[in-house]
Amino acid sequence: MTAPIHPLQWCIGLIGYGEVGRILAEDLRARGVMHLIAHDVKLGGAEERPLCEHAERCGVELAASHAAVASSADLIISAVTAGQTVAAAQACAPLRRDTWFLDLNSASPATKQRAAAAIDATGGAYIEGAVMTSLPPHRIRVPLLLGGTRAAELRPHLETLGFNATVASNTLGVASATKMCRSVIIKGLEAMIIEAYTAARAYGVESQVLASLVETFPGIDWEEQGTYFFQRVIQHGRRRAEEMYEVAKTVDEIGLTPWSASGTAERQAWVADLADRGELGDRADPIFARSPDWRTEADRILRSLKR
């Protein structure tokens, strides 16, 4: 009988080579994984250069298609935008029998179940993964909830690769529901901060508002939190908006109107639109540029409203 291949000797495929994919590539390489292959829909387009440069530095093979990744990988990690969750899974089929497919995308339980159907129909082993906090500070050790009938089987292999994984349930949807319900609050806070701080800035009452927040919630640095939220939404608002549309689906599927989730999705998408306009406009006076002070970003939003 052939001995099982050690996880560090696996070929690991990354579907999506954005922030998450690149961080995982760096950490998997540092862990000792030698064979990494990745595909991203931006390859072949105007935005491919940073992906190619990073892949060359990290020793990652870039593939021209999802199918090319699927034909080689022992483990496929899907880290695309929420709206591409099912399409990415379908594009990876057919894959080799018993190939692991770890879906890290922020999608509703129903969306994860549709993605699982596409993978399981070809003999792959679909595992849902719910990333439970912002990935960059923790990197590969970010808390990760797993779900699916073979989640417990995959977990020790992921630990060997450096992941911080816990099995939430052998039933698909439990891990995703946990993530989605949390996002109503976390992503909602981001949207509320941007709306409240920008309005307070317009009325000249930001100091009073922040003082009141500190008095009510003294354990939070509202200045630092404000800057962090502004920057995360400016940088990743499009991805966050797609996640929140999935959150709204999650809430709607139980018959509850997702007013908060839908509003958050719209605010995140609105900020993303402003950021995109800044990137395409006058570089000498962009709508957005990274700033250590949320007031700078609020002022840019206010100026954009007058244009």
Which tokens hold the place of 219? Answer: 């354990």
Nearest to 146 by CA among 164, 134, 123, 124: 164
pLDDT of residue 103: 98
pLDDT of residue 46: 84
Cβ pair 167, 152 in contact under 8 A: yes
- Residues 66-100 as b or e (16 or more Cβ within 10 Å = b): bebbbbbbbbbbbbbbbbbbbebbbbbbebeeebb
Kindly give the confidence (pLDDT) of every residue in the chain, 307 residues in length, as a single tens digit, with 9 standing for 90 and above.
445 789 999 999 999 999 999 999 999 999 999 999 999 999 988 889 999 999 999 999 999 999 999 999 999 999 999 999 999 999 998 888 889 999 999 999 999 999 999 999 999 999 999 999 989 889 999 999 999 999 999 999 999 999 999 999 999 999 999 999 999 999 999 999 999 999 999 999 999 999 999 999 999 999 999 999 999 998 888 999 999 999 999 999 999 999 999 999 999 999 999 988 874 233 334 444 567 899 999 998 999 998 7
Amino acid identity for residue 212 in this structure: S
pLDDT of residue 277: 82
Domains and CATH numbers, the chain: 7-171 (3.40.50.720), 176-306 (1.10.1040.10)
pLDDT of residue 289: 52
Q: Across-strand partners of 235?
A: none
pLDDT of residue 5: 87
Residue 293 is classified by DSSP as S
Q: Report how far apart, in Å, the C-alpha atoms of 239 and of each of 52, 84, 177, 232 are.
A: 21, 11, 18, 10
pLDDT of residue 96: 86
Tell me the DSSP string of 94-148: S--TT-EEEE-----HHHHHHHHHHHHTTT-EEEEEEE-S-HHHHGGGSEEEEES
> Does the reported pTM lie above 0.85?
yes
pLDDT of residue 3: 57
